Structure formats: structure tokens, C-alpha cells
DNA sequence: TCGTTATATTACATAAATTGAATATGAGGC
DNA sequence: GCCTCATATTCAATTTATGTAATATAACGA
């Protein structure tokens, strides 16, 4: 959807595709725009973490973290791996990482 | 907030700053995660557009577009410029552009 | 099997975001 | 001043998101 500049003679079919992609992008962005989920993703950039670890890292309750992870899981952003009683989460691909890098650059580096 | 990897001995003050930045990033992402606003921003990447032009481009009603622009304006993402009766909007800085480039790459290029 | 730890899910209350309709403002032309 | 075009704002209705508390499940060890 973004940059390719939508020119006047874009066909209806092309426009539909663009809107479809905008919807995906929109869901993805909504998923990462939650403060807690954003922090979780940040922590996962440095590697797998268990739910308990994440609870401590972002100072949130078990149920909250679990719900946030659940949302990220449904959205396909993270993948769980069970090891005995504990469940470790990791980033599913580099999409979140790519975006977080920019966000970090924009909000944590420049003034 | 993201990438720098939050290490165990991060001080409380540092953590506060991180949380602050996460909040800003989170607001920004919320602002651009709305499908209509996302499309508006995309169109603005190629240059200033009037409200009426945007209405046509994203096939939305006047009030809706105006509200979405209002949100983007309050968030500091776009800047209005009046010329007679019409008002032209443009991106306030390259933050949205930088993020949209990545989003475009992730959702409209790769399969 | 029972108890415990780790995580997930559900149900409910509340807050925030979004939409649509109606109305308001501001600029220009007559 | 009055009318019209372009845009903004307001308000109520609805939807969606979020947090909390309670409960459920799954795995392990005694």
C-alpha cells in the first residue's frame, strides 16, 4: 500500500489489493502499537523469553502478559515453544524487528 | 525503547525513560495503524493533498477524512496549509515516511 | 493421585476508538 | 449581507480494546 504512489489510472482490482494490504498492515500495526506488546516485542528481539521472565521485565501481571502474548500469537508475530512447564516465546520472523529498529531510531535516538 | 536490549541492571530512571519513549512510540503507532489514516499518510508521501483530494483518493466521506486528519494533526504527523477555501495537508516530518517505507516493503513487496 | 508451578482462558466491567448525522466555521463571489 | 464551497467540530451510538479476577489446563515431582 504505501510508497508506490497511487496513480490515477490504478484499476479497481489493483485498488482492492492495495486496500487488502493496507488492512494487513493496519492489523500488524495495531498489534504492535499497544505499549505492553511493544515492550514485549522489544525484549524478544534479544532472544527467547519465558512468560514469567516477560512478566518481570515489563512489570505486568501474569494474565495481562499472557493475553498480550496471545494476541501477538494470533497475529503471527510470536511463536511459543514449550519446555516442561515453562513456555518460551520468540519472534516469528523479522517483521517486528525491522519495524522496531526504525521505531527505536525515531523515538530513542534522535531528539 | 526497542533494540538496545534492556539489561538487568538498568536503573529505575532509565527504565522510566524507556517507558516514556514506549508511550510515545505507542501513540505514534496507534495513530498510523488505522486503515484510513494509513492510506492518507501513504498518499501524502507523494506530496501535499487537499482534503477533497483525499476524500476521493480513499473513497471516504468528508467528515471521516476530516476527523482522521484532525487526529493526525493533533499527533503532529501532518501540517495543514490554507490556500483560499481549500486546505492542503502535508507530512510534518519524515517519521511517517520512514515507517511507511518499511511497512510497504514488508506488506507489499515480499510474499 | 495430590499438590504445586507455569501458563491460558473466560467473564465481566470499563475505557477508548470509530462511525454517522447534523451542525458550525471560514473564505470567496455576487 | 447572502449564498455556496471546503473543511471542521460536535454528539450520540456502537464497536473494539483493555484490565481484573477467577477459573482452567498442563506438566512435573512426591
| Whole-number CA gyration radius for chain A | 17
- Which three cell numbers, joined as nine digits, stand for B72? 493526525
Protein CA at B57 to nucleotide C1' at C27, angstroms: 24
Which residue numbers of B have CB closer than 8 Å to A's CBs?
A: 1-6, 18-19, 21-26, 28-30, 32-35, 38-39, 41-43, 45-46, 57, 95, 98-108
Q: Is the confidence at residue B6, as pLDDT, over 90?
A: no
Residues in A touching B42 (Cβ below 8 Å) = 1-3, 6, 22
Does residue B24 carry a pLDDT above 90? yes
pLDDT tens digits, residue range A75-91? 999 999 999 999 999 99
Higher pLDDT, residue B70 or A111: B70
Yes or no: say if B65 and B43 are a contact pair by the CB < 8 Å rule: no
Chain-centroid distance of CA B95 in Å reads 7
pLDDT confidence band for A11 (50 / 70 / 90): low
Q: Are residues A107 and B35, on separate chains, in Cβ contact within 8 Å?
A: no
Least confident of A35-39, B16-20, B31-35, B59-63: B16-20
Give the bridge partners for B88, in sequence order.
Answer: B50, B81
Q: Identify the band that residue B56 occupies on the pLDDT scale cut at 50, 70 and 90.
A: very high
Quote the pLDDT of residue B88.
Answer: 97
DSSP string, B27-56: HHHHHH-SHHHHHHHHHHHTS-EEHHHHHH
Question: Distance between CA A97 and CA A83 in Å, rounded?
Answer: 24
Q: What is the pLDDT of residue A81?
A: 97
Q: Is the pLDDT of residue A4 over 90?
A: no
Cβ of B60 less than 7 A from strand D = no
Task: Report the alpha-carbon distance of residue A42 to residue A97 in Å, rounded.
Answer: 8
> Phi and psi (nearest 5°) for A70?
-60, -45
Per-residue pLDDT at A1 exceeds 70: no
Confidence band, pLDDT 50/70/90 cuts, at residue B106:
very high
Whether the pLDDT of residue B98 is over 90: the answer is: yes
| Structure confidence at residue B19 (pLDDT) | 79
What is the phi/psi pair of residue A79, to 5°? -130, 130
**What distance in Å separates the CA atoms of residue B66 and residue B46, rounded to the nearest whole number?**
19
Protein-covered nucleotides of chain D (CB closer than 7 Å) are 5-10, 17-23, 26-28
Distance, in Å, from the CA atom of B107 to the CA atom of A19, rounded to the nearest integer, reads 11
Q: What's A61's DSSP letter?
A: -
The grid cell for A70 is 496471545
The percent of residues above 90 in pLDDT, for chain B, comes to 77
Is there a contact between B48 and B56 (Cβ–Cβ < 8 Å)?
A: no
pLDDT band of residue A111 (cuts 50, 70, 90) is low
Q: What mean pLDDT is predicted for residues B21-39? A: 95
Cell of A26: 493496519
Lowest-confidence pick of A31-45, A69-83, B16-30, B80-94: B16-30
Q: A27 versus B109: which is more confidently predicted? A: A27
Amino acid at each position: 500500500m504505501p510508497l508506490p504512489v497511487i496513480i490515477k489510472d490504478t484499476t479497481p482490482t489493483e485498488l482492492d489489493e492495495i486496500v487488502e494490504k493496507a488492512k494487513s498492515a493496519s492489523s500488524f500495526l495495531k498489534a504492535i502499537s499497544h505499549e505492553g506488546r511493544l515492550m514485549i516485542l522489544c525484549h524478544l528481539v534479544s532472544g527467547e523469553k519465558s512468560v514469567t521472565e516477560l512478566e518481570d521485565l515489563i512489570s505486568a501481571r501474569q494474565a495481562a502478559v499472557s493475553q498480550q502474548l496471545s494476541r501477538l500469537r494470533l497475529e503471527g508475530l510470536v511463536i511459543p515453544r514449550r519446555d516442561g512447564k515453562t513456555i518460551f516465546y520468540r519472534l516469528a520472523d523479522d517483521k517486528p524487528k525491522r519495524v522496531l529498529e526504525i521505531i527505536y531510531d525515531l523515538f530513542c535516538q534522535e531528539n
